[in-house]
Structure 1
Amino acid sequence: MRKLPSGRWQASFVGPDLARHSAPHTFETKGDAEGWLGRRHAEVVAGEWQAPAPVVRVAPLTFDAYSAQWLRERDLKPRTREGYEHLLRRYLAPVLGSLTIDSVTPSVVRTWWSQLPSDLPTVRARSYALLKAIMNTAVADEVIDSNPCRIRGAANTPRAREIRPASLEELSVIVEAIPSRHRALVLLCAWCALRSGEVLEMRRKDVDVVAGTVRVVRAVSWVGGLAVVGTPKSAAGTRVVSMPPHIVPAVAHHLDTMTAAAPDALLFPGRDGVTHLQPSTLHRNWRLARETAGRPDLRVHDLRHTGATMAARAGATLAELQQRLGHSSVSAALRYQHAAQGRDKEIAAALSVMAGRESR
């Protein structure tokens, strides 16, 4: 018996034919391996053991073949699948694709990783994370004994820049500067902390101005230039979000003047009034508005950070932020918490007020 690096056990024996015969699979425990050997020994003693038929050798499995199978068997969002396909084609296959999967050793992985473009840290991290996930499955499938991806921290995606949420003054300037048909979109992304894909798929039936809520049940993404409608990013992304009362009139005005009457009508359609607004059109208008506000660094997605920060300052707990943002884990919601400028002084002042009350 032999314990493999994966923690599983391999068993083999020399039969009456003087050839070594291995178990057709590995075992989770040493006891299971011993049991298999015991049964084979009993067969030999009773004269019932027969040598197995010769194994038909098949061509070694290449990384290209296994990764293609891995991708086919995954239930992925279209945008995620497209991203994986790009990473495999551009960064993994050129070096690893023709190798047999069991010849992708730790040293091969280190050499491959060191040759990835150092000026693209996010690409390096995502490529490594994808390779590690594929190899984890190969271990579970018993195609390889252990995962060769052992570079500490290589899968951690670095934050390329520190995100500074928009201030209330900057947000006000952006809302005024952007075309009127997009003002409600900016308000919903910022004050409700919604993803742009969630807002661009929002329809009249999803908005209740009386209750002051919006319902997030779908999202749109673009794959190969085509709009693909699906569920939100995670199960927790399906949610009802309350609008701050001060933006409800603007959203109601948008529904009255810029949205078709049908329940399925898109809130923010393209020029034809039917199909989804193209991201290029939105971003062109967005760039002009953010320049007016003096924030050339601000992305549309950063409005979500703005909304999370404002909700935190309004007293939302981490669990409440998690629900409002539609995140399945607290750690994901934590990424959107920011210390707003001047907040530390406000906290210090509040502590003094508290101290004054306690001393009286």
Structure 2
Amino acid sequence: MTEAPWSSDMAWPTGMSPFDPFDAAIQADPYRHYAWLRAHAPVIRAGRPEAPLYVVSRYDDVLAGLKDSATFVSTPPGGEVIPGLLLMLDPPAHGPLRQTISRAFGPRAVNAIEAAVRTLVATRWDAFLAAGGGDAAAAFATPLTMGVIATVLGITVADAAQMRAWTNSAVDFIATRIRGVVNPDASVDSYARMRAFMADAMDRAARDRAAGCGRDTVIDALAALREEGALTPDEADGFACLLFMAGHETTTLLSVNCLDQLASDPSALAWLQAGGSPAAFAEEMARFRPSVHRLTRYAARATTIGGYDIPAGAAVRFLIASANRDATRYADPERFDPGRLGAAHTGFGAGMHICLGSWLARLELRLMLERIAATTASIAIDGARIPVEGGAFATSGLTRLDLSVTPRRM
């Protein structure tokens, strides 16, 4: 039996603390730790001794684990399956539900809103540019993403802002139910309110459709699937909530990561202005600096990863952001290269749970980068860069990024 070493027991290089998935300083810039893990300890144990987390860092191991849905499941032992939360479902329930939901949120549905998203991008970026910059997260990326998710769902921006206020509490509640643990501070109220709002919105959409004035939005599509019986009311409500909660934060962080790259590396903006592909730039950013850094699965049975034993029931954290910089997969992986060819990545996950919202994120980033390249002469950091903290190291990026921007002369 080969047990994975404990992070705290290993001889880390001078100046590097043992990898801790709850360490805010590591979360702010984890890539040096990732590189060391890949080279010296591709599977480690971390966290609490009574409930260790098995942390996996190499590309091949991460990809194999995410694709093996029979061995590594999404619902923890003793956890509750919440209707509509696609990320937490395992076969056989997952496949039919995802296939049904993809009718409401696949590439065709997302492409149908391109003109609306393009207008939102232009409005938000042009205002930010006219102001000479500011906090790119608060003044640009967050309102843009909220506007996009409101457009996709078919709700008002004000309603989206209200749901955003419910999100943190709702996520805490969902997490405790999924893990099967008791947390008296995690109230059901916010998630219940969010679900009730979505149910009411679908009721209105169904009435409008019956009156011949339906719209082409996700809420309308989910309402139609609910009416057909393809989705239960709980599944429809739950998926709409998941889409909102999972979509706006991660896309906001990825947008800010793009802006930080443009501000930190003038050659990146020059590359776009010279005709470089915004879609390729966005894809390389999802590899190089994804907003989601790890995905958690649970071992359905005793198994091994990279020669190390994983006991049944263990929580396994697959570091997708580390996998994206594995030198066995990518040439010069620590360099941002938007012209990189053939670089499939795990920035949106892999396997049956690959991010359903990746199409929307790609559209938003592409249109944002197109607008910046067409209108902006320079982008520079001009103040604070405040990283994400908390969330048990699920995400990494910046919650504040102060920029100065200048327009191109037309």
TM-score range, shorter chain: under 0.3
Give me the TM-score of the superposition, normalised by structure 2: 0.20
Structure with greater Cα Rg: 1
Give me the TM-score of the superposition, normalised by structure 1: 0.22
